[in-house]
Structure 1
Amino acid sequence: MGMCPIPSSWSATTPRLLLLHHLFLISLVSDMEDAHHWPMVERRGTHLWASGRPFIIHGFNTYWLMSFAADQATRPRVTAEAGLNVCRTWAFNDGGHRALQTAPFHYDEEVFQALDFVISEARRHNMRLILSLCNNWEDYGGKAQYVRWGKEAGLDLTSEDDFFSDTTIKSYYKAFVQAVVTRINTTTNEAYKDDPTILAWELINEPRCPSDPSGDTLQAWIEEMASYVKSIDPMHLLEIGIEGFYGPSTPELFPVNPDEYSAHAGTDFVRDHQAPGIDLASVHVYSDTWLPHSIEENHLQFVNIWMQKHIDDAANLLGMPIGVGEFGVSVKDGKFGSEFREAFMKTVYGIFLSSWKGGALGGGCLLWQLFSEGAEHMDDGYAVIFAKSPSTLSLLANHSRSLES
């Protein structure tokens, strides 16, 4: 999903960062393990487990936590309480303002300490994190920044997709991954790779490689990088971060895709997840942008088919749990309102809940995205602001109770 860029400056009036008391007030699924016993979340076949019982992801995205925590004016706002049990956020910022990776092999210690702080606060509030390591899109640098760095070093690169194939560019990415995964948290004095607060690493947000629609280039990259991450950190779960488009390995499933282009984006849901080392099947759900001209009923019908097919394939073909890493509806342009957004959310939650209750597989869903009141300048149209959305609050609470029952 495209995102708002980081503001070029911060002040004390910058709105309060996510982990807020509105969420804490909801009766949501949460680990609630003993404070002195915080086990890793592990995969057992098609389910996630922690503390000897199933672990269900009931979470949200707020990608800019590290960026806010990097500034002294906004850092205190990270400490508010939260109730949801998993947050997906960026563990990268490549080049540009307040970059974590200022250049290949060079990292900003102050920003790294901000990430330390985010992880320690998540632990303190009994929350797990999914940490994404790169972006397919230009927001926060992404593969385009890696390619720019390569060109500046004299490499003969012609496309952003060279990120997935050029040996030198891949060495940049591996070095960054190693720096993050082996980082010793300055707040907790614990290595990231040993910290159970981290539920999973994500290789890259929404990778696409349209220059090779066969999917071979991205597949080779996934296999190489999954192996590399697991060689450094065999304990944590690993996911890819793909949107879930069906590719050339399953042409019979092309009709499930939202459009003709999706089958040629260089990704392949089934084949990509067969790469050794991948633990959690990732899929995103954005019918509002994928089906821009459809009526609301058609959107919900698409979501039903899209969700159910990916759940079935994760369970029966891949044998792994599924993580709906992003789902949401934009109300920015007025095409859709909050009522439809809630119907959309109920559909996503309902399909997952039915599958989980039936024992088929575990995993869970992460809403894109949750904000506190006053953070509107970061809103990409998808933000749910609880102070303005009490019915959405009730919806999440109901889903929590359904997961607990």
Structure 2
Amino acid sequence: MIGRRGVLAGGLALTALAAAPPAGDRFVRVEGQQLRRGGRRYPLIGTNLWYAAWLGADRPYGNRARLGRELDRLKALGINTVRILGAAERSPLHGAVTPVFRGPGAEYDAGLLEGLDYALAEIGRRGMTATIYTNNFWEWSGGMAAYLTYVNGGHFIEASDLSRPWTDFPDFVSDFYDNPQALALANDYLRTLVARTNSVTGKPYRDDPAILAWQLANEPRPAGSEAAFARAYPHYLDWIRSTARLIKSIDPNHLVSAGSEGLAGCLQKEACVVDTNASPDIDYLTMHIWPQNFGWVKRGALAETYDVGAANTRTYIDTHVAIAKRLNKPVVIEEFGFPRDGGSFEPGSATTLRDRYYRLVLSAAADGYRAGGPLAGANFWAWNGEGRAQHADRRFQPGDTAFVGDPPQEPQGLYGVFDADRSTQKVIRDWARAMRG
């Protein structure tokens, strides 16, 4: 049996080598409303793994062996792409991750950058791809709020401050788009990142087919309130266009996307979604779907409110598909998540409603893909794998190294999929097979 398997594997390897596409065709491209690679459609079968660079770092907080195990688990599920974080800024805000790629100065952390190199090398070695987001509208990785503190004397607003209106934080962050000093700092790092040469493979990032796309930021929003939206919107659009253009000027080989939630990040304005993605340097649209965060389902009454959440989800997907058709570009369901039964955070606990919701979203992704576009696939949020909460309150604390997909400002286990969540993994595995047809 072993010998026979070896012969087959060798034959397949030779066949694959002979049929390998030319170097220029190894990148994922956009043709009309489809993603394509090597002359074939590319089914985007993905997850979010923001912490890949942290695990890949050769530092006390890193864990390269675990990174390999997590990527192997994902590949076994049928996942072919991961969305990872390529930037994090030192921040005074509560819930921000540590360590980080940079502070206010011009020095960038070599350990994390080399961790990103290692992660990309391992992703590429498995024939997978990565989307790298390079900034964050939210506080959990520093992001735009951190850049503002570097240039405004340290002033900030806590996103978690319940004594203030919720819109105060996004309104504060929207100042980033019109702050030349903050923008210059962010662009300096962006140039360094996109122009980087991988210290593991020796390959410039721009020439690496393991990169699927660069992303301007995680969930950039024009603002939180109508008043701030009116002020910030022109500057937000200028930032979208100029940043996408900057990336393309350094790396013309890879796709660029905004990283937007869609309507939820645009105060429900369809024109905003269109404008966000209309630039010729934005290759595809994204949408993020969070039925609990959006108020479609209630934490204490998930079963009773599920049908409303499901109906709203279908409408949300259909609306963004229609916008993508108008723009003649692909669209990806880039984030979605659903709580565990009873609001548990425990690995392996019941996920009856979550599995039902995953089937809803992933079936829509598969149906859209099989129909020829523009729906190109999905990334579920997120892969926790063998990571576990380290504290009784399930909260991340500085110094923790058992990273999970739930970011530091959230309970560890809120939305992520653990290696013990067998039923959810079956849903994912079935979806991956459906996407490959």
1:135-168: CA deviation from partner (whole Å, max 9, x where unpaired): 10111211111001112499xxx93322111112
1:230 and 1:195 mapped to 2: Cα distance?
Answer: 15
Query: In structure 2, what is the equivalent of residue 93 of structure 1?
Result: 88
Shift of 1:74: 1.7
TM-score, normalised relative to structure 1: 0.81
Query: In structure 2, what is the equivalent of residue 310 of structure 1?
Result: 320
Structure 1, gaps ≥5 residues long:
1-31, 249-261
- Name whichever structure is richer in helix by fraction: 2
Select which of 182, 196, 203 maps to 1:183. Answer: 196
Query: In structure 1, what is the equivalent of residue 113 of structure 2?
Result: 112
Distance 1:374 1:293, change over 3 A: closer
Q: Is 2:229 the counterpart of 1:213?
A: yes
Q: Is 2:212 the counterpart of 1:165?
A: no
1:292 and 1:397 mapped to 2: Cα distance?
Answer: 27
Distance 1:124 1:360, change over 3 A: closer
Query: In structure 2, what is the equivalent of residue 17 of structure 1?
Result: none
SS of the residue corresponding to residue 268 of structure 2 reads helix
Select which of 371, 374, 399 maps to 2:431. Answer: 399
Shift of 1:274: 0.5
Shift of 1:230: 1.0
Aligned-pair identity (%): 25
TM-score, normalised relative to structure 2: 0.76
Matched letter for residue 107 of structure 2:
H
1:168-225: CA deviation from partner (whole Å, max 9, x where unpaired): 2111111111010011111011111111100000101011232632432211110111
SS of the residue corresponding to residue 214 of structure 2 reads strand
Distance 1:374 1:361, change over 3 A: closer
Alignment of 1:10-159 (within 5 A): 34=17, 39-70=26-57, 71-72=59-60, 74-80=63-69, 81=72, 82-83=74-75, 84-95=79-90, 97-152=98-153, 159=172
Query: In structure 2, what is the equivalent of residue 242 of structure 1?
Result: 260
Query: In structure 2, what is the equivalent of residue 9 of structure 1?
Result: none
Q: Is 2:298 the counterpart of 1:285?
A: no
SS of the residue corresponding to residue 127 of structure 2 reads coil
1:246 and 1:127 mapped to 2: Cα distance?
Answer: 30
Matched letter for residue 321 of structure 2:
I
SS of the residue corresponding to residue 228 of structure 2 reads coil
Q: Is contact 2:341–2:354 with CA below 8 Å preserved after alignment?
A: no
Q: Is contact 1:33–1:51 with CA below 8 Å preserved after alignment?
A: no
Deviates more, 1:372-381 or 1:288-297: 372-381
1:374 and 1:116 mapped to 2: Cα distance?
Answer: 22
2:416 and 2:175 mapped to 1: Cα distance?
Answer: 33
Query: In structure 2, what is the equivalent of residue 252 of structure 1?
Result: none
1:148 and 1:281 mapped to 2: Cα distance?
Answer: 30
Q: Is contact 1:332–1:382 with CA below 8 Å preserved after alignment?
A: no
Distance 1:356 1:291, change over 3 A: same
Q: Is contact 1:246–1:270 with CA below 8 Å preserved after alignment?
A: no
SS of the residue corresponding to residue 263 of structure 2 reads coil
Q: Is contact 1:386–1:392 with CA below 8 Å preserved after alignment?
A: no
1:256-313: CA deviation from partner (whole Å, max 9, x where unpaired): xxxxxx337x992111110230001011010111025551100000011101111122
2:241 and 2:219 mapped to 1: Cα distance?
Answer: 16
SS of the residue corresponding to residue 241 of structure 2 reads helix
Matched letter for residue 220 of structure 1:
D
Q: Is 2:377 the counterpart of 1:364?
A: yes
1:53-110: CA deviation from partner (whole Å, max 9, x where unpaired): 1001101001111122223452322122241100001001111532212324321112
Query: In structure 1, what is the equivalent of residue 336 of structure 2?
Result: 327
Shift of 1:119: 0.6
2:341 and 2:351 mapped to 1: Cα distance?
Answer: 10
Matched letter for residue 202 of structure 1:
Q
What is the count of residue pairs matched by the alignment?
355
SS of the residue corresponding to residue 308 of structure 1 reads helix
2:322 and 2:83 mapped to 1: Cα distance?
Answer: 24
Q: Is contact 2:297–2:309 with CA below 8 Å preserved after alignment?
A: no
1:204 and 1:247 mapped to 2: Cα distance?
Answer: 12
Deviates more, 1:63-72 or 1:175-184: 63-72
Q: Is contact 2:195–2:204 with CA below 8 Å preserved after alignment?
A: yes
Shift of 1:374: 4.2
SS of the residue corresponding to residue 397 of structure 1 reads helix
Distance 1:263 1:292, change over 3 A: closer
Distance 1:362 1:188, change over 3 A: same
1:174 and 1:401 mapped to 2: Cα distance?
Answer: 40
Distance 1:134 1:246, change over 3 A: closer
Q: Is 2:411 the counterpart of 1:381?
A: no
Matched letter for residue 140 of structure 1:
S
1:171 and 1:374 mapped to 2: Cα distance?
Answer: 36
Matched letter for residue 61 of structure 1:
N
Q: Is contact 2:220–2:265 with CA below 8 Å preserved after alignment?
A: no
SS of the residue corresponding to residue 147 of structure 1 reads helix
Q: Is contact 1:42–1:237 with CA below 8 Å preserved after alignment?
A: yes
2:265 and 2:380 mapped to 1: Cα distance?
Answer: 25
Q: Is contact 2:362–2:431 with CA below 8 Å preserved after alignment?
A: yes
1:88 and 1:203 mapped to 2: Cα distance?
Answer: 13
Larger Rg: 2
Query: In structure 1, what is the equivalent of residue 163 of structure 2?
Result: none
Matched letter for residue 395 of structure 1:
V
Query: In structure 2, what is the equivalent of residue 230 of structure 1?
Result: 248
Q: Is contact 2:176–2:182 with CA below 8 Å preserved after alignment?
A: yes
Q: Is contact 1:218–1:267 with CA below 8 Å preserved after alignment?
A: no
